[in-house]
Structure formats: structure tokens, C-alpha cells
Amino acid sequence: MGTPVNIIVGSHVWIEDPDVSWIDGQVLKINGKDAEIETTNGKKVNANLSKIYPKDMEAPPGGVDDMTKLSYLHEPGVLQNLKARYELNEIYTYTGNILIAINPFQRLPHIYGAHMMQQYKGAPFGELSPHVFAVADVAYRAMINEKKSNSILVSGESGAGKTETTKMLMQYLAFLGGRAGTEGRTVEQQVLESNPVLEAFGNAKTVRNNNSSRFGKFVEIQFDKSGRISGAAIRTYLLERSRVCQINDPERNYHCFYLLCAAPQESKCYELADVSDAREYLATRRAMDIVGISQKDQEAIFRVVAAILHIGNIEFTKGKEVDSSVPKDDNAKFHLKTTAELLMCDADALEDALCKRVMITPEEVIKRSLDPQSAAVSRDGLAKTIYSRLFDWLVDKINNSIGQDPKSKSLIGVLDIYGFESFKANSFEQFCINFTNEKLQQHFNQHVFKMEQEEYTKEEINWSYIEFVDNQDVLDLIEKKPGGIIALLDEACMFPKSTHETFANKLYQTFKNHKRFIKPKLSRTDFTIAHYAGEVLYQSDQFLDKNKDYVVPEHQDLLSASKCSFVSGLFPPLPEETSKSSKFSSIGSRFKLQLQSLMDTLNSTEPHYIRCVKPNNLLKPAIFENVNIMQQLRCGGVLEAIRISCAGYPTRRAFFEFINRFGILAPETIEANCDEKTACQKILEKMELKGYQIGKTKVFLRAGQMAELDARRAQVLSNAAKVIQRRVRTHQARRHYLALRKKTIYVQSRWRGRLACKLYEHLRREAAAVKIQKNIRRHEARKAYKELQVAVLTLQRAIRATAARKEFRFRKQTKASIIIQARWRCHKAAIYYKRLKKGTIVTQCRWRGRVSRRELRKLKMAAKETGALQEAKDKLEKRVEELTWRLQLEKGLKTNLEESKAQEIAKLQNSLQEMQIKYEETNALLIKERENVKKVVEEEPPVIKETQVIVEDTQKIETLTAEIESLKTSLESERQKADDFERKYNEAQACSEERGKKVEDMEKKGRQLQESLTRLEEKITNLESENQVLRQQAVSMAPNKFLSGRSRSIIQRTESGHIIPEAKTPMSNQEMHSASMHRREPSDGLDDKPQKSLNEKQQENQELLIRCIAQHLGFAGNRPIAACIIYKCLLHWRSFEVERTSVFDRIIQTIGHAIETQDNNDVLAYWLSNASTLLLLLQRTLKASGAAGMAPQRRRSSSATLFGRMTQSFRGTPAGVNLSLVNGSASRGVDTLRQVEAKYPALLFKQQLTAYVEKIYGMIRDNLKKEISPLLGLCIQAPRTSRASLVKGSSRSVANTEAQRALIAHWQGIVKSLGNFLNTLKANHVPPFLVRKVFTQIFSFINVQLFNSLLLRRECCSFSNGEYVKAGLAELEHWCYKATDEYAGSAWDELKHIRQAIGFLVIHQKPKKTLDEISHDLCPVLSIQQLYRISTMYWDDKYGTHSVSSDVISNMRVLMTEDSNNAVSNSFLLDDDSSIPFSVDDISKSMEQIDIADIEPPPLIRENSGFSFLLPRPD
């Protein structure tokens, strides 16, 4: 299984470890055949090279799903792969076609259920993740296709999950081949429900498992020719009878005893965690009901179980006679009596049967007493016999209830049998169990070897017979006649005096030289057998007792005579010749025959293997015990299968994988233009390997050659690494040199700068010294100068003071002289001034008198001219009048303003009146002044007086002028206030206009709401009336043969609903009905012949219409002609209002015949457009009869609105003017069509038409799904092909471009299909609403298919595949953009799951992402289960990066556990929605109005006079 070749220093290897079985490490050094290894836990270990196995460092962190893909197929590689997958909750792993299932010890509902069964149904084996469903599906498909029976062998030790796996297999087979059975029960249901019954009576708690099967079970599920389950049979093997009497602490007896007792307090019972015996008892009783066990038999069964419990409580003691026994005490006698009552037999006879034996001799019949020990043995034998017979009866009852199909030629057998067992104490049961496993292991080895040979033959490689170790010698040791262990055991049982010691000595003597038989040194009765899984030490103490299979005659006679028919049926009387026969029967011989029969059955079927593994003995999740699992793999034969594979070609690699891994060994082969097989051949030839084989699709390598290639590859990579290191070191050295040179220059510059600084400092100090000396010298010179200056200044001050005193005395004398002179001169000037002033005043008086006289003459002349004053007065009056007019004008303009403005104007008027009064007073004063002036002129008053009068008059004029100015100012202020009021008025008016508009809008909305409410009330009333009509007439009318399932269901719902009482017929309907009756009365008196001709004419018209619409009439604009013609004809013929007519049925038949070809999308789209348009017209036109009377009061009150009056006018239109409504100007849209009182046929026609719209829609949608499904499969599988093609051609970039172009071609095929489909729908004018619904569901289907494939196939969860799918999704997004929202709608949003999943695959630095970022930012739509699945399956085939961190995975597990506890659905797969996503109301609301007035009739009916009403009429 491995080879030490090419293990060098630095290699990563596996070495054995006593604690964890295998541990990895790195080789530090090699000394000859030994190597020093440093393990991952830090220890240094020395190991022999022959015990070291290489470790694959390029294995994916999540393991591989098929262990044949491992680069190194050895024990540590297998163990590490299983551990890596188990940590990710991937409990299933393939080894070729063998499935290894590790018990998770927790519920994983997300990997089971109907949704998962649907995914694995028909999927090729190995395409999806490993699963028990895949094995069952392969067996089922092989049975169907090859017409050969198959078998599935489930094995494993106690607690490994064999029973649960068997349940899953039967559930899946029932899912594939389920069929209803008789009496309301299905065969598969009874098979599944037989499990609880058999578990209750055949399972028990052991040290290793709480629900261990203590018997072998082979379920034969029979199938008929069509692949449906037709029958089933259950075969059981070796029930552990000794458990009934002997239980080792802390194990339990069979479950049925605890179910009956429900764990009473007085008995010592071990309870199971999370298991209620009372609930299990009820579940078992329900299961018994399902499998067909009557209540009477159930009571009898549990009565027998109770009797066995009481038998166990009977104890014996010595009797009065020698070697006799009697019940020990009253308690024993009570249990004896209770047992007799339960078994309905005599208590004394029961005591005699337990305590005595009858010996028949030729002379007499002797009754012999038994000692207490023998009596206890007899008691235990009775209990075991009763329980064994009861279990066999249950199995037979279940088989009879299920029933077998004698005509069935194929079956699938599911074998659930105990695994290899090796305990501290191993007895006869373990011997038989291990014998069974030896047989199955031989069968398993042969199958594995056969599979190996088939693989070689399939790949057309040269192979020779490969020897493998067979275990036939162990089987001969056990079963060979006459010298096998079982034969010797039977021989010992035949002799009464034989003991286990004599039996053991016989074994020692017989097999002392057998290599598989070992005699222990410290025991005289034990023996050891070297099985394929290891040595097992058996204790032969109870072999003889447990091998005996005869019923004590006393027990047989006692129970066969029971008054209970059930008990007596368990022990039927033996035939006379049988009772007299002395032929010996044993458990071992019978078991050997059963096992041989089982092997014959298995050899006649195609086997499939499932190996169940228990990860730990604590029965807890997330614990992986390496040593325990390695032992189970060894016991299960998995390691033996690996060893067989290693004997041939253990390493197999597909060509492209081999080239991707080892292409660097011969790069010229990749660059050359050669195929993959040739490239692989050249690589192997260059490496000079021998013994390899190249098949059709794979490279087959012998053991050790993979390691040698890896060593060569590591050497090439090492050389390349050395070159890279050399270049890197050169680069680093040069970079170091450049850095050192740069730093040296820098240091030099710093030192030179330092020297320059020192020189500068010296120069600076020298200059400073010179400057200091200069300053000191200057200071001394200045000091001397200052002293000299002070002395000179003192001398000058004294001299100058003397001169100043002399000058002061001189100036004082001079000033006194000047003062005297000034006084004298002033006196002379004053005298002169007085004289001059007196002469000046005299001169002035005379001159002023002269001037005054001149002015007086001028005033006199002006006084004579009074016209000037009058003119000034007139100007003032005009000005006042103008102001008054303006005020009145302003007052007239502001009459609508507020009262305050009027008061202001009144104040202005008062002021104006006061001004007028003042003006009049002024005029009066002016007149008086004139008169005074006249008097003054006449009297010639003094000049001063006249001058004073003129001055006063001028002042008054100025006063008036000032008052006028003040009035102007107040007028301007009032005008400004008026402007402000006018502006506020305009603003208020604009605000009121806006509010008025809002009020009008609200009124408009109110009217619209009222109209909508009216329409809704009418629709509800129509529906109620329609339902009432359907209820009243559905019973009387025979169902139409073309009535769809939906219509029938609607009628049934209406019949079962509440009956609405009949309402009164409205007045308009009564008038119309009376008018129609008056019109019909004259025709009643006519002959039948004109009436017949009229009916024939109508029939001809209908026939012509049907022939016409059967043709493709096309479209008028975007309106389907056929729908419009049908509607016009039905409306004209009043077909909606008649009680009986056949025209509706014929139209439905025509549509049904037209869509029989489901593959023609053009025809389907044409009829979808016509049917939806016709349904729209009917929806907006028809109303049930009596609808008006059933309307609520609120609807009648709404007729006062405009819409209500229009509705009433349409209702009240006479029947004779319907053509004008259809062809006239009133028919401008659907809303203007009058509503018709529809009868039952019309309503039924509407329902049928609705059903056909839904049916055609579904057919169109399903056709598109069928068309794109193969392309979706190619899209999700394309990356593997593209990666394989990367090695072809001379340029990788060219090949990569071609591969990506090939992949995009698949997506472009989908886009092309979508585009053609959209063009077909557009060409047939299918309503955009339905087109959007179709593409929304199609994109949802694409999302479901791609997303589910991503989660179920690990090879799809890769980085490169994410890039490929992302590019394909971009094509779909571009198509949605081109299709526009009118037709694509929200289709792109339906791809949210696959878009977010692909986005997660292609993001970088996944380990740095937290769970919150992933679940809320990156993938908010995906559930935790889906994120966990993607994270654990992800692998980077492009850059080799890792998935999310282990902390994120752990947090996901915690959340998943919480979700499972909260009973939330754990399914990570999406379901496709195939429902109809719209209703009739949705179509009615979404489609626009249709004008049918100008539709031209087709040529077939245009010239017919009966269809003249179809011709368009001018307005």
C-alpha cells in the first residue's frame, strides 16, 4: 500500500503513531534505512523507511469524494481524507463503487428528503456528491436496464448506522418504485413500517450502540416489469436468543420488554437519552397496524412478552427429594401462576415442565426430577424458545401482510447484517457473526477484484492475473465437513456427556497445526481464530448449550395445548414421524445453511456495497477516533480492497489531470501539437518508468510510480526554485549593493558637510573677534568724545547765558516803548471812527429813503394788477380738484378692500375738507388784504407798513404751499398703503385659486375612487351571481367532456360554498324580459318549418365561424382577428344570454384540437394571444344574470355619479341596438361595451377559456424549459472540458480563448433560444404581461437548475467555474437589457441565488471575510445551509487559495444546529415553481383597451350575408 522510494530530506510523510494511528511530519535526515522525522506535534521520531508513506501536499483541504482519486492510496491517505470530509459534515465517500458512510450521531435533514431524492433520480453515478441515494439509484437503474436483480450490502459494527442506512435505501427505492397497494396501504409503506416492529423485537442497547440490531436482515424488494414495487419479503438470520436471559451490565434486553413495561420503578432498567419507551410503544403499535397485525394478535403478542418477563422472575430451590427442585418462595409461585395465566395453560403442568423431564424407554416412561440449576436452564430455554418462535411469527406475518409477487423477475435486496465483533468475552454469537463476515468478505474481495478487472478491460489495457490473499482457509476451518469447527461442535452436542472442556480439547487436537487456529497459553477452554480483521479469542463455555436447537418435548406439549390460539399457533404439534425421529438439529448447522442460501442469493445478483463506520465509542458528534476507525476499515474490508487495488494499478489519473500535474516534467510535449494520450506517453517515456499502462481515458500507474513521478516533479520544481532563488538572491545582492553605495555617498556628504561646518565655525569666530575688537575700540573713542563734548557744552552754556541776559534786558525796554506808542495811536483812530460813522449813517438814511420810494411805486403798480393773484388761486383750485378726483378714483378702485382702508380714505376726505375750509379762509383773508392794500394805497401809508403787509401775505402763501406738500406726502403714503393692500389681495386670490385647484383634484380623485368602487362592487356582484347560477345549474347540466380540471374544481367549490338567496329582478331586466316575450309571441303561432329554417341558418353560421377560426387569421395591428370575430358573433347572436347553446363547446373543441401539437410554439403563442384577448373581452363584458338585484345598497346609491348614470344607460339599452354598440361610434374600446346578462353556458365558457389560457401558458413555458435544459447541463459541465483542452495546441492563450469561446457558445445557445422564443411571442402579439411572466419563471428555472447543480457537484464549486458561469450570466444580463423591461420585467432578479453564489466563488481573500460580511453583504439571499455547503465544497483550481476560515465554518455549524433545533427547513436546494402566476383579474388590469370596431372580417365570411354585421360602418 505504499513505498519508501524517493523519500528524501524535506519530504512530507506519514508515520505510525500509537495514539492517533498515523501522524504527518517532515523528514529531517536519512541514515541508511532509517529516517529522522519531525512530526506536526513537535516530536522527533526515528522510523524505518519501509514504514513511512508519502503525504500528498496537493490534496484538496476538503478531501476528495472518491478515494480512487487519491494520489497515494494507502492507509493514512484514506484516513486523512475521511477525517477532512467528516469535519465538513460530508459523511459519505466513495472508494470506487463502494460507499463509506460515517455515522454523524446527529440529524442532517438537509441531505435527505424528497428534494434530494429528486436530484439523485437518474443522475449518473459519481456525478453528484456521494450519497446513499446514489447507490440505490444505480441498483435500480441496473435492474431496469439490464433486467437483472441487484443487492445492496450494508455492513458495519454495532452503532455504525446500518439500520438508518437501510431505512434510507428503502425510502429511496419506495420513492422510485412506489405504487398504491390494497386496503389503503402501499407495499413500500408496509416495508418501511416493518422496521419499527422488527427493531422493537430484534434490537437492543449494547455497550457500543443504543439501537443495535441483534439479528441479520435481508429485505427483498420485488419489482414488476414497469419498475414499480410489486412485493417484498424479509429474511432474518441468527436472532441473539441468549439475550432474553443473559444481559451484561449496562446493556439492555430487547426493546419490546421496555416498551411494555414503560420502565417501571421496581425494576432496574437503563433508560435511553431522548427516547420515551411509552411513545415508542405507541409508535410500535401503529406500525403493527400498518403491516397488518390485528388488534387481537397485538394483544396476544404483548401477553407472550409479559409471560417471558414473568418466567425470568421464577426462581428454584431444592425440593424434598434428591436432585429435585421447587419454586423458591411465594413470589416465585406468583410469577409461575401469572405466567400460566398469560400463556393460558395449567400452572401445575408448567411447573412440571420446568422441574421435571420424561424419559421414554422401551419398557416404561420414567419421569425424572431436575435439580435447581437444571430447572433454571430449562426455564431459560423455555423463554428463549418462546421469544424465538414469536420473532419468527412476526417476520412471517409481515411477509404475508406485505405479499410477494410470484411474477416478479427482478428484485433489489438490501442486506442489513451485523459487522465484525471482537469483545473481551466472545461467545457463540460472535463466532457466528464473524463467520458471516468472513463469508461476506470473501464475496466482497471477489467483487472488488472483478471491478478492478472490469476497469482494466474497459480501458483496454494489458493485464495479467493479480493474486490476492483469499480467506478460504478460515472458512474451511469453520465450516468444512467433517473436520470443521461447526461439525465438531455438532458432534459434541450429540453426546450427552460432552462438555466444553472436551470440545476445546478436540479443537486443540484437530487444528494444532492450522495457521489460523491459535491455542491460548493460559486457558484450557478458549481458542483464537485469526480472522481477516484480526485475531479474536472465543470462550467455549456456552458453545454447546447455545448450539442446541431442539425444543424440550415437555415445553412443546405444554404450549401446543394452550387455550390461547396464538400461543398454540407458535408451537404447532409435530408430525408423528418427526417426533419419533432422532435426527439432530443445531443452531450452527441451520445458520450455515441460511448463510449459504444468502450467499447463493447474493451471487445471483449484482452487488453494491455500503460500509458503515462509527467515528467514536462515545456516540457523540464531531469526534473522530483514528485508531477506532482504522480498525473498522480493516474489519469492513475497505483496507483489503485498497490492498487489492495496490496489487494492480492503484493510481489512475485522467489524461488532462496527469498532464496538469506532471506536464512540467516534459514541457516540450505540452508545447507540441499532440493529443493528451500521446503527451502522457511521452512524459512517462521520458521518466523511463516500467510497468505502467495507458488506457483510453486514464493513465494507470503501479504502486510507487506516483511517488517516483512526484519526486521527479519535486526535483524539477526544486531546480526551478533554485533558479528563482539564484535570481532573487542576485537581485537582493544588487539591491543591497546599491543601497550600501547610496548610504556611503550619503555618509560622505554628511562628513564633508561636517568639515565645511567646522571651517565655517572657525571663520565665523575669527570674524566675531574682529568685530568685538572694533566695537571695543569704538566704545573707548566714543567715551573720550563724550567727555570732551560735555566739557565744551558746559563752557558754551555759560557764555550763552551771559549773552541771553543782555538780550533780554534790551528786548524789555523795546516792548515798553511799543506799548506806549500803540495806546496813543489807538486814541487817534477812535476819534476818526466816530466822525466817520456819524457821516455814514446820515448818508444811509437818505439813500434808503430814496430806494423805498422807488419800491413803493412798484407795489402800487402791482396792486393794480389783481389778475395775477386770481390766476394763482385758479391753479391751486385745479390742483385741489385734481387731488380730489384722484382720491375719489382710488376710493372707487379700493371699494372691495377691508374696512380699515375705507376709514383711511374717509380720514383723507375729512382732511381735504379741512384744507378746503382753510383755503377758503385764506381766500377770504386774501380778499381782506387786497382791500386793505387798496386802502393803504389810497391813504399812502408809510413804507414800512406796506412792506410789512407784503411780507405777511407772502408768508401765508408759503404756509399754504407747505400744507399742500404735506397733503401730497399723505396722499403718497395712502397710495402706497393701497398698493400694499392690492398686492396682499392678489396673493390671497392666487392662494385661493391654488386651493380651488387642489379641491378640484381631490373631487376628481374622489370621483375616480367612487367609479373604481362602483366597478369593484359590480365585479363582486357579477361573481356572486355567476356562482349562484353555477350552483343552481351545475347539478342539472351534464359536464362537458372538454371541461378542464380547473373548471370542475371551481364548480365543485361553488357547489360546496354558501348558497346566496335569490334577489329580486331589477326593473330593467323585467322590461327586457317582457319585451323579448312580446317579440316571441307572434312567432308561436307560425309553423314549425320557418322556425326550423331559422335554426338551420344559425347552425350554418356557427359552422362557418368554426371553419373560419380554425384557420390562421392573423392580426389587425396588434389585435387577434379570431378573438375579435368570435366576440362580435357571440354578442350579435345573443349567445351569452341563452340557456342552451353548442357554439361554446365547438369553440373550445377548436382550440383544443389546435393545441394538440405541443411542440409548435408558434401555434401555441397564436392561440395564447387569441384566448387571452377573448378572455379579456368576456371579463369586461359578461355579468351573471340577476347581478343588479344582488348589488348592495351602496352600489345603487353610487349610480348618481356620472359613471353610474353611464352604466345604467348601457344596462337600459334595448336589445335591438346592440349592433350599433359593436359597430358604431360608441364601440371605441372595451370599456364602452355594454355588459351582458350571462347565463350558465356563457359563464362555463369563460371558465373553460380561463383554463385553456393557463394550459397554453404552461405548455409554452415547459417547451422552453425542455429546450434550454440540455444547454444548462452543458454550461455547468463545460469547465472540465475547457480545462482539458488547455493543454492542446501550441499556445495556451489561444487554447484558453477557444475553450472559453466554446463555453460561451452554450450560453449563447440559451440566449438564442430565448431570443427566438421572444420573437415568436412578439410576432403573435402575446400580451407583454404574459411574456414577462413566462420569462420570469424561465429565469427562475435557470436559477434553480444552476444553483442546485452548483451545490451537488464539487467540481462545479471552483474558482474557474465561477468565472465561466459569471461570463454566461453576463450574456443573460445583456439579453435582458436588449429585451427591455416591457418583456423581460424582473427576470434578471430571479437569478439572485446563482449570482450571489458565483460572486462568492470569484471573490478573493475569502479567509479574511467574516460570517457577517458573507451573510449580509455578499450573499444576503442565501441561507446558512447553502453558504456552508458552498464554503465546504469550494476549491480553487486556478490560484490554489483556500475557502473561508475555520472560525466562519464553526459559526455556520452553530447556526445550522440552532436552525435544526428550531424545526426550520434545512434543505439547501431550491424548488422549481411550476404554478400559474396570474389570474384573470391580473390579465384584465394589465392589458390595454382594444378597439374592435374596425376589424375586417376574413374573406371566408365577408361575402356571407349572415355576417354583414361584422363589416365596419362609418361613424
**Residue at grid coordinates 528786548:** 811
For residues 233 and 397, give the distance between their C-alpha atoms in angstroms, rounded to a whole number: 10
Task: Select which of 21, 95, 151, 158 is catalytic.
Answer: 158
- Cα 739 vs. chain centroid, distance in angstroms? 57
Cβ count near 1467 (within 10 Å): 18
DSSP β-bridge partners for residue 360: 365
Q: Is 678 an annotated catalytic residue?
A: no
Task: Select which of 231, 419, 663, 1368 is catalytic.
Answer: 419
Task: Select which of 163, 166, 253, 437 is catalytic.
Answer: 163
489 touches 482 (CB < 8 A): no
Give the residue from 417, 900, 786 showing the smallest Cα distance to 612: 417
Q: Answer yes or no: is 1157 a known binding residue.
A: no
Give the residue from 1255, 1214, 1231, 1239 showing the smallest Cα distance to 1179: 1231
238 touches 188 (CB < 8 A): no
- Cα 1236 vs. chain centroid, distance in angstroms? 49
For residues 862 and 930, give the distance between their C-alpha atoms in angstroms, rounded to a whole number: 11
Instruction: Tell me the longest C-alpha to C-alpha distance in the chain.
Output: 214
For residues 479 and 495, give the distance between their C-alpha atoms in angstroms, rounded to a whole number: 20
Q: What angle do CA 1013, 1018, 1023 make, to 5 degrees?
A: 125
The three grid cell numbers given for residue 448, joined into one nine-digit string:
472488488
Task: Select which of 97, 149, 209, 1025 is catalytic.
Answer: 209
Task: Select which of 193, 240, 421, 1390 is catalytic.
Answer: 421
Give the residue from 617, 624, 534, 615 showing the smallest Cα distance to 206: 617
Q: Answer yes or no: is 1385 a known binding residue.
A: no
C-alpha gyration radius of the chain: 59
Q: Answer yes or no: is 160 a known binding residue.
A: yes
For residues 760 and 275, give the distance between their C-alpha atoms in angstroms, rounded to a whole number: 99
Whole-number Cα distances in Å, 1446 to 138, 948, 1218, 1454: 35, 121, 78, 12
CB within 8 A of 1450, min separation 6: which ones? none
For residues 60 and 925, give the distance between their C-alpha atoms in angstroms, rounded to a whole number: 128
Q: Answer yes or no: is 902 a known binding residue.
A: no
573 touches 471 (CB < 8 A): no
Q: Is 159 an annotated catalytic residue?
A: yes
- Cα 995 vs. chain centroid, distance in angstroms? 52
The three grid cell numbers given for residue 999, joined into one nine-digit string:
379641491
With helix as H, strand as E and coil as C, how does 1003-1058 read?
A: HHHHHHHHHHHHHHHHHHHHHHHHHHHHHHHHCCCCCCCCCCHHHHHHHHHHHHCC
Q: Is 421 an annotated catalytic residue?
A: yes
Cβ count near 107 (within 10 Å): 12
Q: What is the DSSP string of 1222-1243?
A: HHSTT-SSGGGSPPEEE-HHHH
Q: Is 158 an annotated catalytic residue?
A: yes
Q: Is 212 an annotated catalytic residue?
A: yes
Give the residue from 66, 113, 71 showing the smallest Cα distance to 90: 66
**CA dihedral sign, ordered 553, 554, 557, 563:** negative
Q: Between β-strands 150-155 and 606-613, what pairing exists: parallel, antiparallel or unpaired?
A: parallel
For residues 449 and 437, give the distance between their C-alpha atoms in angstroms, rounded to a whole number: 18
Strand residues in 122-275 grouped as ranges (E): 150-155, 203-204, 212-213, 216-223, 229-237
Q: Is 1135 an annotated catalytic residue?
A: no
**Helices 943-1034/867-893 angle, 10° precision:** 10
CB within 8 A of 1200, min separation 6: which ones? none
CB within 8 A of 1486, min separation 6: which ones? 1327, 1328, 1329
Q: Answer yes or no: is 161 a known binding residue.
A: yes
For residues 1357 and 772, give the distance between their C-alpha atoms in angstroms, rounded to a whole number: 89
Q: Answer yes or no: is 157 a known binding residue.
A: yes
Cβ count near 492 (within 10 Å): 21
Q: Answer yes or no: is 501 a known binding residue.
A: no
Q: Answer yes or no: is 978 a known binding residue.
A: no
Task: Select which of 2, 62, 77, 159 is catalytic.
Answer: 159
Q: Between β-strands 651-654 and 698-701, what pairing exists: parallel, antiparallel or unpaired?
A: antiparallel
Cis amide leading into 250 (omega within 30): yes
Q: Is 1343 an annotated catalytic residue?
A: no
For residues 952 and 948, give the distance between their C-alpha atoms in angstroms, rounded to a whole number: 6
Please enumerate, by residue number, every residue annotated as part of a binding site: 156-163
Residues belonging to the active site: 158-159, 163, 209, 212-213, 419, 421
Please enumerate, by residue number, every residue annotated as part of a binding site for ATP: 156-163
